[in-house]
Chain A
Amino acid sequence: MPTRTFPGQYQYLAEIGDFVTQIAKEAGFDSDQVYAVQLAVDEACANIIEHGYGGEGRGDILCSCDSTDEGITIVIKDWGQRFAPDEVPEPDYDVPLEKLQSRGAGLFLMSKLMDDVDFEFGDSDGNTLIMTKRK
Chain B
Amino acid sequence: MEISTTSYNRCDLVKVVGRIDSNTAPDLDKAFNELIDGGKSGIVFDMAEVDFISSRGLWVLLETQKACKKKKGKLALINVAEDMMESLDLAGVKHFIEIYTDVTAAVGSF
Contacts and interface: CB of A to CB of B under 8 A. Distances in A.
A108 interface: yes
A16 B82 CA distance: 22
A104 to B, nearest CB: 8
A10 B82 contact: no
Nearest to A94: B95
B23 A11 contact: yes
Point out which of A32, A39, A109 has the most chain B C-beta atoms below 10 A from its C-beta: A39
Given A36-B86, A39-B52, A43-B55, A100 B22 contact: no
Given A14-B19, A97-B65, A105-B92, A113 B59 contact: no
Interface in A84-130: 91, 93, 97-98, 100, 102-103, 105-106, 108-109, 112-113
Nearest to B1: A14
B91 A49 contact: no
A105 B65 CA distance: 17
Interface residues of A, number: 30
B87 interface: yes
Q: For chain B, which range describes its interface: under 10, 10 to 19, 20 to 34, or 35 or more residues? A: 20 to 34
A46 B63 CA distance: 19
A19 interface: no
Contacts of A106: 54-55
A40 to B, nearest CB: 10
B59 A102 contact: yes
A3 interface: no
Given A13-B22, A14-B21, A50-B22, A100 B66 contact: yes
Closest 10 CB pairs of A and B: A10-B23, A35-B83, A93-B92, A102-B62, A102-B59, A46-B22, A105-B55, A10-B22, A32-B83, A13-B21
Interface of B: 19, 21-23, 52, 54-56, 58-59, 62-63, 65-66, 69-70, 82-84, 86-87, 90-92, 95-96
Interface of A: 10-11, 13-14, 17, 31-32, 34-36, 38-39, 42-43, 46, 49-50, 91, 93, 97-98, 100, 102-103, 105-106, 108-109, 112-113
Given A98-B69, A100-B62, A102-B59, 7 more contacts: A14-B21, A17-B19, A34-B83, A46-B22, A46-B55, A49-B22, A93-B92
